Structure 1
Amino acid sequence: MIAKEIVNRRTRQSKSGRATSLGTYVARLDTETAVYCEGTGFFSATVKGRMAEMAALAMEATRSVDPLMHLVLSWPVHERPTNAQCDAAVKRLLQSLGLAAHQCLYALHRDTDNWHLHMIVNRVNPLTGRPIEINKGFTRNALQCAVAEVESALSFEPERNAKFEILDGRPISRTAHPDAYRLTTGARRYEAKTGLASAQRIAIERAKPLMAGASSWQELHIGLADAGMRLQVEPGRGALVWVGNVAVKASSISRELCFPALERTLGPYQPAPPSIADGNRKDRHGDDERFQVELDPVLADYHRQRFAHEFAARQKRKERRHQHAKAIASLKQQQRDERTQVLAGSWAGFGRIRAGIVSVLAEEHRQKRDVLAAAHRDAMADLHKSLPRFPDFESWKKQRETAAKIAVPTALDQKVGATVAIKTRDVAKPKAASPEEPTRSMAARSPVSVTSSIPAHHSRDAEPASAEPVNAAELARQYARRRSRGR
């Protein structure tokens, strides 16, 4: 679950106007977006009455410019909170923020894939008439801590990179103890963009156990080399773990594995042998299959297809530019040859005429180059139109789901066809004789040969032929008539 405060950008709006506009947006009185709307700390039971109460109490705090907070709680796609869970989440969140007795108007919106809860919280204390400052101004930190408590109390799934977690019944920052880590901004951006694990995450999951369990520098170097990584110490940067060609600081893996801590454990630093130090220096992090860890397979597939599409488009544009460059070079060479041929010989005494010829020739050459450049621009424009942009992630997912739905009837048709073939084969199979009936050959029981009545592709002795559609009902009627004649 994610909690976020929506910043008020209408700084000149009055408190009454802000309460009215926020209440109208959250409750969505004119639409069906808000499927559940409730409030706490009000005397009125209607939305308009609660907005009026909130505006009146906000105006009591004359020194506060904007005492109203707009908060949003958003759940993942696979979680669908009930009305009771929304009430419990709001109650627990307000208690964690120290606003349990304050006014709060909230509504659940389901107009997106992620159900979210909009909250309008009045920071003005209804007893004292003074606004309360949440966590001394560090509202975001307090919100993240409150979200951890709500997730633990209501059994919601926590976010993967949540800052707080609940240990022994109280929220603890994941960076407060040595074993905790937090991905850098670049690593999070890489994972969100590609759906693959970043070099820092791979180093934390694979290099950290090796570094913590090594008893010597040589053992550490060999263990990292077997995992496709290497350790290097650089002046001013400390110990670096190279995952392919991406360097990860040892201190970002764990605070207990920084370079001074490693020297205290393993002794003075000993560099790796040259064979290990240069083994994976030129390998790219994204090209090594050992480092291709998909955090989100769907997102990774999307980016692979998008990269292939964009790469093909770049190649076509590059080929077109190369053709234009060759055409320009050829035209310039022709113009140089023409200029040399026209101006050949002696022009003594005809300088003005030569200058005029040069001017006219230069203008003709310029016009030809302009025509070629215009043709190149038109060709690039046509190429740009013929290469549409790759759809965004949401549109691509919808197209993929639509294609999957279209492909389902085909699979069902194949299954039905296989069922019909099995039933046809069962009908064509002769009925076994009962013990009381004397054993007779099929030829004696029926004047028509069974083999001749079965299509060629159903006969064992016949050569395999192309399969033809068989009408099971008609085949069953034929065998019934022949069995009756055989009796």
Structure 2
Amino acid sequence: MIAKVGGSTSILQTQHYLVEKDPTRLAWEHPRHLASTDREFVISQMREVAKDSRTNQPIYHYSLSWDESDNPTRQQMIEAATQTLRDLRLEEHQALLVAHNDHDYKHLHIMVNRVHPVTCTAWDRYRDYIKLEKSLRRIERKYGWKEVPGHHHQLDGQQEPEFGNSLNQFECAQIKKGQTPLFLLIREQAGHDFREAQSWENLHHRLAEKGLTIQRGSRGTGGKVTDGFEYTNLSKIHRDFCMGRLEKRLGLFQSLKEVQQGKQLTDIQRAFARYERAHRLGRPGQARSFKNGLQKTLKALGTARKIQKSLNTLLAISSPGNPAFKAVSMIGKTMINHIKQHEQSRGRGY
């Protein structure tokens, strides 16, 4: 089991992320010291308790994730969450347990009101990761689930993971600040993309929709993923996503640029590819320049039909969900609307 601490401390924002942002992923909810899981009720009750405290950060949000080989029941997940709350000394606080079903592994989110309902004092999260890891190690052995020795606590006979095999110093610093390292974000948000992709091109398009890029390792071996700001190794995201295993499934690695170079691209497709790459790799100056060039090219086409046709050709090297395609598509649609309005005005003799 692993635990991750979320960054949101707002009652409304945390509840929205867990329950309303994507209702299709909601498996079940379970209240603690709350009479209902009703949205308005949970928010009003937590606010009622929190208002008597001086804190402006009333929520502590963390998640528990089980290994894919584990298959806890709903009751066992509730019991595990209850034990972590007890070990954090939050057992008397209001809490909402929310299970999601959007991953192959079981995971549960816990949204806790830091303010005690009687004393009205806010719980101090000092050394929370140590307390969480101690709690998880005991829970794993109690239920016979896969043991994952932590960086902050290990049971007798367990060795502390080495940085090279798990977290580097930068990632450890992120965790201590309550931030989520990039490899965990990718594992959570794009794990299904790695598993479902049928080709390198398909995988590149899937990841590009999330602003991610796969690159060959700096020494010509292995692979890494970047969001334009940070990098993480493919193998760190999941052992099944290492370059060797991906190449066995998808063939010899090709970057998105190499895939595109193997096609006979039109001028506007090449211009879009440059813009999309700059946008994805976090190069705002280049992206702005390429975008302006695309805008001029589309405008020079003159007719709504030609603009729409050009936009359609971009889907041969991108996908509808790609942020860069959405931006260019919006520019093109605005031009098309202006052209149609102008033609209608001329038709009426204005």
Q: TM-score range by the shorter chain?
A: 0.3 to 0.5
Which one has more relative contact order, counting CA pairs under 8 Å at least 6 apart?
A: 2
TM-score, length-normalised on structure 1?
0.35
Instruction: Please say which structure displays the higher CA radius of gyration.
Output: 1
